Amino acid sequence: MSTLPAVSIPFMEMGQPLSTGDWNFTCELQVEYASEENASMVYTTLSVDKELQPDKVKRNLVLNGRQLLVQFAAVEARFLRASFSAFVDILVLATRTIEQFGSN
């Protein structure tokens, strides 16, 4: 059985803050991978998936070495929850696929 990389949900600065104006609901996620290559593959996979309702949810995805940093901001808590949940589902799928079939 494979183990997923270390995951934490910190409140940290990632550059441009997304929570301005009516964007009152925010969440940040940090995932650390075993290698920069794995982090890069997951970043590349997830970065093409745009938010379905960009007027209600914003997402900022940053690759920093072995770390993938994701920041969400939404106008309502339910939009944040739905976006975060869907993103984590795809993140887990991409991570498990790389662990199963990747070069490491």
Lowest average pLDDT, out of 24-33, 36-45, 50-59, 95-104, goes to 95-104
Residues ≥6 apart with Cβ < 8 Å to 73: 18, 19, 23, 25, 26, 57, 58, 80
pTM for the full predicted model:
0.76
Average of pLDDT values for 41-68?
93
How many other C-beta atoms are found inside a 10 Å radius of the C-beta of residue 73?
A: 24
Lowest average pLDDT, out of 5-14, 18-27, 45-54, 74-83, goes to 5-14
| Structural domains of the chain, ranges and CATH numbers in brackets | 6-101 (3.30.310.50)
- Cα–chain center distance at 28: 8
pLDDT greater than 90 at residue 2 = no
